[in-house]
Structure 1
């Protein structure tokens, strides 16, 4: 699989995936009528069943993040041409740049603006906090009307987005099984005979980065941005898992699973920021790493020699399966191939199962129609791929039944099949391993459906009792975290200050509340 969320991702995510037309993903029938709950549709008909009353036309507003796209209007027009006959609606695509998205949505939600759909996540544009604040509508009754959509997403994903037993967002079934590792440009690894398979931990990359720094002045040895911070986006790399969201104090050790700890006070965090200080002072990161919001331009230009990756199936596993991988880096630039190596085994945690979600605003005047659109994104391959890849012949060309090549000059390259609907519908692109497409797709689906669960999979932290402390610790983290985690400031001086600011903001109270809720959850989930 290629692309990690950036989160991006987390971002997260942050890789592209494989596709399959599952049961319920067939051609849609006309649905320009009101809907009622019906029995599960046949496998070839995932549409809403019509009744006698025509649907009035509506316009939907859909906020989501990505890098700016010159030809967004063409894609919006194409999506609307597909959905208008089906649900008598048009959608306005409100794409916001990654770096501005979280702040923009805070303003939108605070203003009471009546938008309809919004991309959110457990670790970005904080889904759980926004639920606690009443920003999103409860969706259980609406979801029940669309059994094909619901059955296409494993129960563990639905459980990960529940808050107090209710669902407030539709999770994307994507590459959520959290195996981690790194990506290295194939040309660099081959040129300097780098033993890229020898890595067992992040610090093992230091000599590779030094080789790049000494010999490749036009490359950035290590990619870092606020969306791609290993400690926040890959807690299992440090033997931990997130409870609630990755920034808020209070994690679990994977080997324990019982005691909530302040991750910023752990030896693992101190070792991480110390290593990053060393990397930063040696010039392995961009000088503006602490304030850098995203790195899409660097990726497209092939400037990053090495980067962290959320990796489910790496280069070794792909080759063993008879595939020819070009690596995740090639999804951004076909001319840049990479070796992808996983050194932290896959694990499904609540934060990864909730890593990309579409919610409906509590203020939406068109909640049911918004859910109809979400149903199409989860069951209609043409609607889904138009939003993800654009218009055939302009933004991409088909090279096989389910494989495309993107047009880098077409004006629409978001590389985000993990951001919308059900990722099993996606076309394969340049970065996906070539060979048996059905086999590579099934490897990904099996891995995610049969993932090893974490100790707290399904536990969702309710922020309500500590809303004030959450806001205060968020402010302290915004002030110092990225400067520390990028190595831009001396941890010997600033790490104690950071921990002290967190304590003054209420971190101990948050951790105590997490422990209380986790103990109660465990008592009822034995």
Structure 2
């Protein structure tokens, strides 16, 4: 997820996705199919653009008049940093939502590091709620479908959210289908993912570091050595569980996760045979954990890295010299377009500009297309109204930008029609517009390069990004966890017990890596890998 996604018009954005779909077709030598996809996407773009232009009037309205709807309460769980002014935003949100669908929204914001466990408890207890943020990286969508915690949505979408359906390309909808049924509404955002790192500009300049020379994670080692020796107040490598290299950025290791990166069973990017392996038994993982052990013993990471759920305090204080990141548009790309990027570190601290560098080129994968989803609880007593609210998030820019950015004048100030500047101490600064719906509605903010909204510059950059992305050999494959849900739960427990100690270098891999692999096998890793291979082979046979 990239918190600096650019705003583009709905019609243009869908046309950009057409480029991506056409590229995928070309990769499979199926130009006729690609042309059909392109025509379908263009039709969707035109429909969605027309509907979106009316989103503040009748287009986003439910099929029943609000006055005829009984009042209901909707509980909405989502993840972010706790916000002091959440109740203010909730109150303003309800002023907009109640006249449209006669529903009162109760926002349940859970901290990044606690969200996954919180939702496991909520779902296991059967606690009634209505909507939740889900993904491939927290509150796992596919596991939730397997466990029966999310409601099937096809009929609800057809009746209450046709505009939302039209505004999102089929590629996204295909990733939220399990056994032919739709269980979530994808938040339309940039689907490609490139990876690299961020380095404080002042540090790179001070030590004359050749930051554009990095080709792999290990190339950062000499940088970290210099930073450790010369910068006593900085953390050389800013790690948190949310930015774990092997889980967040599996393409750095020439792999793609199938389902989610924590579950055994990945494929190599360059393997057209689609052979499924246990990535934790791979030579790449072994090399990685030994490198991290070296980094840890030399003091490049915080001593408590293995238990650090997020590092936003360090980010806001400007303490991290280097961080890993999903980087779609890096500093050289933006500079070549005539823009003056301040870097993503400046999103957290405007006094800490960074160089952002991508050394793994953009990929188009199923897990990224399904990286941000809104689902409706199977236990929700108000599924119809919940879908009406999802439709508002996806088609009403006023509602979308309120929940994304807060209240104008209190949480941000307008710079132009489509650019804002957030108020740092305003009490509501999520910086995550990708969480809530169709991102084509979003404002630009100070984290976006200046001028990106002028003359279509930002739009062209995203067009190029989509067009040049490499499609995964398994694009569109969705793993059904149901046959191995017990084994997955067992493996998740092993991951939580030992993985992060290994991936931060906090323990000796000579001792703990064999133990980790042995425990995964006893938990059922081999059965999961075999089931993934079975399903992947069946999927491949009909492509």
Structure 2 counterpart SS, 1:15? coil
Give 1:59's match in structure 2, choosing from 63, 73, 82.
73
d(CA) in 1 for partners of 2:235 and 2:370? 31
Aligned-pair CA distance for 1:53: 7.2
Aligned-pair CA distance for 1:52: 9.5
d(CA) in 2 for partners of 1:241 and 1:156? 18
Structure 2 counterpart SS, 1:345? strand
Post-superposition Cα deviations, 1:13-37, rounded to whole Å, max 9, x if no partner, equal: 2432111342532343566xxxxxx
Aligned to 1:409: 425
Aligned to 1:142: 156
Post-superposition Cα deviations, 1:252-297, rounded to whole Å, max 9, x if no partner, equal: 0001041000101111001111111111111111110001111111
d(CA) in 1 for partners of 2:64 and 2:53? 17
Higher alpha-carbon deviation: 435-444 or 366-375: 435-444
Structure 1 counterpart SS, 2:52? coil
Q: Is the 8 A contact 2:361 2:469 kept in 1?
A: no
d(CA) in 2 for partners of 1:357 and 1:419? 8
Matching of residues 480-499 of structure 1 within 5 Å: 480-499=498-517
Aligned to 1:112: 126
5+ residue gaps, structure 2: 12-50
Aligned-pair CA distance for 1:50: 5.0
Structure 2 counterpart SS, 1:347? strand
Structure 2 counterpart SS, 1:178? strand
Give 1:20's match in structure 2, choosing from 8, 27, 43.
8
Aligned to 2:106: 92
2:524 is equivalent to residue 506 of structure 1:
yes
Q: Is the 8 A contact 1:30 1:85 kept in 2?
A: no
**Larger % of helix: which?**
2
Aligned to 1:180: 195
Q: Is the 8 A contact 1:19 1:426 kept in 2?
A: yes
Aligned to 1:76: 90
Aligned to 1:381: 397
Aligned to 1:370: 386
Q: What is the aligned length?
A: 500
Aligned to 2:168: 153
Aligned to 1:102: 116
Post-superposition Cα deviations, 1:214-266, rounded to whole Å, max 9, x if no partner, equal: 11111111111111101001111100000111111110000104100010111
Q: Is the 8 A contact 1:26 1:380 kept in 2?
A: no
Q: 1:407 to 1:365 in 2, by over 3 A?
A: same
Aligned to 2:260: 245
Matching of residues 382-397 of structure 1 within 5 Å: 382-397=398-413
Q: 1:221 to 1:411 in 2, by over 3 A?
A: same
Give 1:348's match in structure 2, choosing from 364, 370, 376.
364
Structure 2 counterpart SS, 1:101? helix
Aligned to 1:418: 434
Give 1:453's match in structure 2, choosing from 457, 471, 475.
471
Q: Is the 8 A contact 1:76 1:92 kept in 2?
A: yes
Q: Is the 8 A contact 2:290 2:505 kept in 1?
A: yes
Give 1:300's match in structure 2, choosing from 316, 335, 357.
316
Give 1:219's match in structure 2, choosing from 231, 234, 239.
234
2:524 is equivalent to residue 524 of structure 1:
no
2:471 is equivalent to residue 471 of structure 1:
no
d(CA) in 2 for partners of 1:402 and 1:309? 26
Aligned-pair CA distance for 1:524: 1.3
Q: Is the 8 A contact 2:67 2:102 kept in 1?
A: no
d(CA) in 2 for partners of 1:205 and 1:89? 51
Give 1:398's match in structure 2, choosing from 387, 411, 414.
414
**Alignment TM-score, normalising by the size of structure 1:** 0.92
d(CA) in 2 for partners of 1:436 and 1:133? 43
Aligned to 1:357: 373
Aligned to 2:462: 444
Aligned to 2:328: 312
Q: Is the 8 A contact 2:362 2:468 kept in 1?
A: no
Aligned-pair CA distance for 1:46: 4.2
Structure 2 counterpart SS, 1:465? helix
Aligned-pair CA distance for 1:123: 2.1
